[in-house]
Structure 1
């Protein structure tokens, strides 16, 4: 499941941050239910989707934005895709404008304000003690700034599956003119 025709997305590339949480995740009672092999395959493709199926991308307008500062905080488990752990990306604001929302608008996408980095997948449901351990981990890491960096390019990412295991960067789009 999770396979489909080629899909393009405009994404925010995220440096490998999984290793920062790995010691704690590997020591957790649910560690055996994390798909560590998939995490390894995705390591060079970590991203937050800004716009799925972008229309015509105005590269000059994106380049005029200039580099933006992004911070990743974590850990997060959503209510839609229960089998995944995410980190949340937060954009620099210039004036009162969220720069990732600005990029979404320029790419013809829906402005969401929520930018998630899919970090880990579960292979099985958690039992009650495992879920409690995950809840404690999420609470501890919720507002913790894991990484802050300056983004000077986005990716146009091609994928044929939901986890981008067989996909890759089709184009790098500069945020610098």
Structure 2
């Protein structure tokens, strides 16, 4: 296993940030109406999973997407290894439930193998476009002051942006009152975020009312369920020319701690 992220030792769940401190509840899909793929998804994701779909947005003025592709973007990410997920009985149970859900045939299962070694949660997006970012020594020094920390993956999550993508939610450790992923963002001079998502599944079409209700039920029942705990010892600078990182590449690994 890549030493950037390893299994965490069993820890008290109270060490992780709570929902009240994060943005997941606020950002949840409104399931009161049938789930329709939103414009951001139809522009950035749908062309990659269902290019012949009549609601694909091939391009839009002022956006840099062209059938889901864009100039190479460099971001700081928290890597999540598929091999680790597959050792989790809870995760396997969640995925089996999705495979038998009423909307299962609308999930683009065929893309999962293409993304297996590229799963991640973005911590600082768009550090550079086309050219790799120059990471200041002050940033590297700040990262060296952040000791490795734990995160817990929970889910399933469906948001109110990129509606059509399904995620696992990342709950970071809270240490001495500090959200540790926000501490990493601070090292890069970024404002503190409050949600970090591991994109896993993509829909190929809208959901009808019954399918939406089934998804809402899965989201509700799995909301607080821990799927995997990880020790984060390093983060990665990853580059990609599309939002599903089909052509993603790790440009640099940045270790935490002295």
TM-score bracket, shorter-length normalisation: over 0.9
**Structure 1 gaps, min length 5:** none
**What is the CA RMSD across the aligned residues, in angstroms?**
1.4
1:126 matched to 2:126? The reply is no
Tell me by how many angstroms 1:43 deviates.
1.4
Q: In the alignment, does 2:186 pair up with 1:113?
A: no
1:10 equivalent in structure 2:
76
Which residue of the partner structure matches residue 39 of structure 1?
112
Q: Deviations over 1:58-100 (max 9, x none)?
A: 2232122121100011011011111100111011111110010
Equivalent-residue separation in structure 2 for 1:115 and 1:26 (angstroms): 24
Q: How does 1:96-175 map to 2 (within 5 A)?
A: 96-175=177-256
* Offset of residue 165 of structure 1: 0.6
With the length of structure 1 as denominator, give the TM-score of the two structures: 0.94
Counterpart of 1:65 in 2: which secondary structure?
coil
Structure 1 residue 176 displacement after superposition:
3.2
TM-score for both structures, normalised by structure 2: 0.66
Higher alpha-carbon deviation: 34-43 or 149-158 = 34-43
Q: Indicate yes or no: 2:257 matched with 1:176.
A: yes
CA contact (8 A) 1:73 1:88 kept: yes
1:159 is paired with a residue of what secondary structure?
A: strand
SS state at 2:116 partner: helix
Q: Which has the larger radius of gyration?
A: 2
Q: Distance in 2 between matches of 1:7 and 1:110?
A: 19
* 3-state secondary structure, aligned to 1:176: coil
Partner of residue 28, structure 1: 101
In structure 1, what is the Cα distance between the partners aligned to 2:140 and 2:111?
32
For 1:45 and 1:108, locate their aligned partners in 2 and report how far apart those are by CA, in whole Å. 25
Q: Is 1:72 aligned to residue 153 of structure 2?
A: yes
Q: Deviation of residue 15 (structure 1)?
A: 2.6
Aligned length: 177
SS state at 1:130 partner: helix
1-structure distance, mates of 2:144, 2:239 = 21
Which structure: greater strand fraction? 1
